[in-house]
Chain A
């Protein structure tokens, strides 16, 4: 895992003082709230319904145990004893006092963490494949590039007051576990015919009120030039984006308005220009960063079989454990989706349990997934039973990865000022409806994603089944969508028809799922059946 040197540390320390000074000037009345708002947002501080929310960056979703313990400590000391893992692999605290925020940032800085650019019109924290360094199908670990780009895009002077937010994602495998093409700028590490490493680049993706799937803007950008290419994209957008309507300022809108070809042409022109400016980081810097991501000292000759004599454990293994690239090891997913709980929430005690397990069994490495779960990426198969027992005791042993109860939901109207409707109670009702394990297993992979407003933090456009909460004449109303995907087969979900009330949408979900059971071919997932038979076959069942 990356370690700060004196420069990185000085940078986050300076940011703490910077923000402390901004808070001081706001409280002293030297700036008004309109002027303060973008400044606090650039540091992840939102004003929500009941309190401030602080979003802490977890770069490329990677944490060590010391960091996770600090997050637990902050939850206890400054919040209500829990935190919320987000669809951007970050962590949010929902009950923060403005005057505590600088002290929290100072605490984060002691464990090489920060909240830089986790919100606002800036280049956001970079997301990546949660199985980086462990996945059997990756070309290389994408995190050295994500870290290099984290540094390159931190406090970028030209791109700190962008038209809107800008999200970058990096993966290096054919399978997409990071919702790649739903990002403004999506990078997949590939090798060309000469065996050289580079990036397949996608641009102009994004959810929100006008969803677009990113298009492939370049087949191959040499790895050493990627920062130039990203700056070229940003410059074209920054120069030409609309600034008169906040809902039309994301890059996806400019790509749509200019057309993919013209956007590509302008980016290429700017790219050639950037190449002359010598702004790319040299190989030596990449090598320095990559040295922190060398594989941990995996043992050889370990047993590759798992004792499945405990049936509850066997069920958990089947659902939560993924193949690791090293024999004798496994990737263990930890569900943060207990039936009837709040998806993505973890208590301070649970964070500490996971930190202990990471330290003892996973080379001190924890990952956060965009589906709001956690991962121990490098567990010896012979240790899985002990890990499961500890998780079980902590209430973290649900076996529902990618199943119908593994619901993604934004905080919704329970917390968020932007929301039109609550998300959490809908997720809980769906979970309870389908809680029976046999039923979940029968339905197989089924991704339900719920957003409480059109900003789509709950990724409803990418749900096999999506739910969007809207405000209909003062009452909460839920639209149902089908057929989305955030995986390598990215698709945008379609609205089925008129909306429902809270209980109605749960019934509608069940009717859609029952229709799938009638129509499916053996072994076919919900999304595959939907693609084969189309929306109309489901509409009949949903609306009768």
Chain B
């Protein structure tokens, strides 16, 4: 777990993540891995027993994880969402905004670069899963 960058205060889930197919039937499982291309909505009926969702990032250019994370957050999921795979520094700001709150990158990230990317934009133009107040709301109080 040493290589996982977490933005959560609770204890990490140590249970290995099982495939989405297995998870749906395996009633005692609490950690699930969703590969890019799998439909995250399949998890919604069993969301109450999920404690960790691992999103597989096969290539950093594959943006399906952003939608997957938002769909889970919009369904009320509050547990950990971890991006695992080809996670690069410049993705993390958008991933955080979409509700991804832990990162297991294939290659280690430079923490100073991560912090710089996360703090660079003080405001945002639109609602997402991170609760940031959009600029239009700041303009109109």
Does B36 contact A243, Cβ atoms closer than 8 Å? yes
Q: Flag whether A96 is at the interface (Cβ < 8 A).
A: no
Contacts A14-B120, A155-B124 given; indicate if A161 touches B62 (C-beta within 8 A): yes
Q: Flag whether B128 is at the interface (Cβ < 8 A).
A: yes
Annotate A1-34 by CB proximity to B: 1 below 8 A, 0 otherwise. Answer: 0000101101100100110011001000011000
A154, A161, A284: residue with the most chain B Cβ atoms closer than 10 Å: A161
Q: Flag whether A361 is at the interface (Cβ < 8 A).
A: no
Does A162 contact B67, Cβ atoms closer than 8 Å? no
Chain B proximity of A106: nearest CB distance (Å): 15
A7, A10, A227: residue with the most chain B Cβ atoms closer than 10 Å: A7
Does A243 contact B64, Cβ atoms closer than 8 Å? yes
Chain A proximity of B119: nearest CB distance (Å): 10
Does A163 contact B63, Cβ atoms closer than 8 Å? yes
A38, A151, A239: residue with the most chain B Cβ atoms closer than 10 Å: A239
Q: A234–B95 Cα gap in the complex (Å)?
A: 17
Chain B proximity of A381: nearest CB distance (Å): 39
Does B61 contact A10, Cβ atoms closer than 8 Å? no
Q: Flag whether B74 is at the interface (Cβ < 8 A).
A: yes
Q: Flag whether B7 is at the interface (Cβ < 8 A).
A: no
Does A30 contact B113, Cβ atoms closer than 8 Å? yes
Q: A32–B106 Cα gap in the complex (Å)?
A: 15
Q: Flag whether A158 is at the interface (Cβ < 8 A).
A: yes
Does B139 contact A157, Cβ atoms closer than 8 Å? no
Q: Is chain B's binding surface mostly helix, strand, loop or mixed?
A: helix
Q: Which A residues from 136 to 171 make CB contacts under 8 A with B? A: 151-152, 154-163
Does B127 contact A30, Cβ atoms closer than 8 Å? no
Does A160 contact B94, Cβ atoms closer than 8 Å? yes
Does B123 contact A243, Cβ atoms closer than 8 Å? no
Contacts A14-B120, A22-B90, A25-B113 given; indicate if A278 touches B63 (C-beta within 8 A): no
Contacts A35-B88, A238-B67, A284-B140 given; indicate if A156 touches B126 (C-beta within 8 A): yes
In the assembled complex, which residues on chain A have CB atoms less than 8 Å from the CB atom of B74? 273, 277
Nearest chain-A residue to B125 (Cβ)?
A151
Does A159 contact B63, Cβ atoms closer than 8 Å? yes
Q: Flag whether A285 is at the interface (Cβ < 8 A).
A: yes
Q: Flag whether A121 is at the interface (Cβ < 8 A).
A: yes
Taking a contact as CB atoms closer than 8 A, the residue among A22, A30, A161, A277 that contacts B66 in the complex is A161
In the assembled complex, which residues on chain A have CB atoms less than 8 Å from the CB atom of B136? 151, 281-282, 285
Contacts A239-B39, A279-B126 given; indicate if A7 touches B90 (C-beta within 8 A): no
Chain B interface residue count, Cβ-Cβ cutoff 8 angstroms: 40
Q: A273–B116 Cα gap in the complex (Å)?
A: 34
Q: How many A-B residue pairs have CB under 8 A?
A: 107
Does A278 contact B127, Cβ atoms closer than 8 Å? yes
B66, B74, B138: residue with the most chain A Cβ atoms closer than 10 Å: B66
In the assembled complex, which residues on chain A have CB atoms less than 8 Å from the CB atom of B123? 7, 10-11
Q: A121–B121 Cα gap in the complex (Å)?
A: 21
Q: Flag whether B104 is at the interface (Cβ < 8 A).
A: no
Contacts A7-B138, A39-B90, A284-B140 given; indicate if A157 touches B121 (C-beta within 8 A): no
Nearest chain-A residue to B130 (Cβ)?
A157
Annotate B106-137 by CB proximity to A: 1 below 8 A, 0 otherwise. Answer: 00001001001100111111111000000110
Does A11 contact B61, Cβ atoms closer than 8 Å? no
In the assembled complex, which residues on chain B have CB atoms less than 8 Å from the CB atom of A281? 136
In the assembled complex, which residues on chain A have CB atoms less than 8 Å from the CB atom of B124? 155, 157
Q: Which A residues from 24 to 53 make CB contacts under 8 A with B? A: 25, 30-31, 35, 38-39
Contacts A10-B123, A11-B125, A17-B120 given; indicate if A160 touches B139 (C-beta within 8 A): no
Q: Flag whether B82 is at the interface (Cβ < 8 A).
A: no
In the assembled complex, which residues on chain B have CB atoms less than 8 Å from the CB atom of A158? 63, 66-67, 70, 94, 98, 128
Chain A proximity of B117: nearest CB distance (Å): 8
Contacts A11-B123, A157-B97 given; indicate if A151 touches B135 (C-beta within 8 A): yes
Q: A22–B122 Cα gap in the complex (Å)?
A: 18
Annotate B67-91 by CB proximity to A: 1 below 8 A, 0 otherwise. Answer: 1101000100000000000001111
Does B128 contact A157, Cβ atoms closer than 8 Å? yes
Q: A296–B47 Cα gap in the complex (Å)?
A: 56
Q: A281–B134 Cα gap in the complex (Å)?
A: 9
Does B127 contact A279, Cβ atoms closer than 8 Å? yes
In the assembled complex, which residues on chain B have CB atoms less than 8 Å from the CB atom of A163? 63
Q: Flag whether A235 is at the interface (Cβ < 8 A).
A: yes
Nearest chain-A residue to B116 (Cβ)?
A21
In the assembled complex, which residues on chain B have CB atoms less than 8 Å from the CB atom of A121? 61, 63
Does B127 contact A161, Cβ atoms closer than 8 Å? no
Q: A281–B126 Cα gap in the complex (Å)?
A: 9
Chain B proximity of A18: nearest CB distance (Å): 5
Q: A242–B93 Cα gap in the complex (Å)?
A: 25
Q: Flag whether A308 is at the interface (Cβ < 8 A).
A: no
Does A285 contact B110, Cβ atoms closer than 8 Å? no
Annotate A290-313 by CB proximity to B: 1 below 8 A, 0 otherwise. Answer: 000000000000000000000000
In the assembled complex, which residues on chain B have CB atoms less than 8 Å from the CB atom of A157? 66, 93-95, 97-98, 124, 126, 128
In the assembled complex, which residues on chain A have CB atoms less than 8 Å from the CB atom of B91? 161
Q: A285–B60 Cα gap in the complex (Å)?
A: 35
In the assembled complex, which residues on chain A have CB atoms less than 8 Å from the CB atom of B110? 30
Known: A7-B139, A21-B113, A155-B94. 16 other contacts (CB 8 A): A7-B123, A11-B125, A30-B113, A31-B88, A35-B88, A121-B61, A154-B125, A155-B124, A155-B125, A156-B126, A157-B93, A161-B61, A162-B63, A238-B63, A239-B39, A239-B68
A interface list, Cβ under 8 A from B: 5, 7-8, 10-11, 14, 17-18, 21-22, 25, 30-31, 35, 38-39, 121, 151-152, 154-163, 227, 235, 238-239, 243, 273, 277-279, 281-282, 284-285, 288
B interface list, Cβ under 8 A from A: 36-37, 39, 60-64, 66-68, 70, 74, 88-91, 93-95, 97-98, 110, 113, 116-117, 120-128, 135-136, 138-140
- 20 pairs of residues in contact across A and B, judged by CB atoms under 8 Å: A7-B123, A7-B135, A10-B123, A14-B121, A14-B122, A25-B89, A25-B113, A30-B110, A31-B88, A121-B61, A151-B125, A151-B136, A157-B97, A158-B66, A158-B98, A158-B128, A161-B60, A161-B63, A161-B66, A288-B139
Q: Which 9 A-B pairs have the closest CB atoms?
A: A161-B63, A157-B97, A157-B94, A285-B136, A279-B127, A7-B135, A158-B66, A151-B125, A157-B128
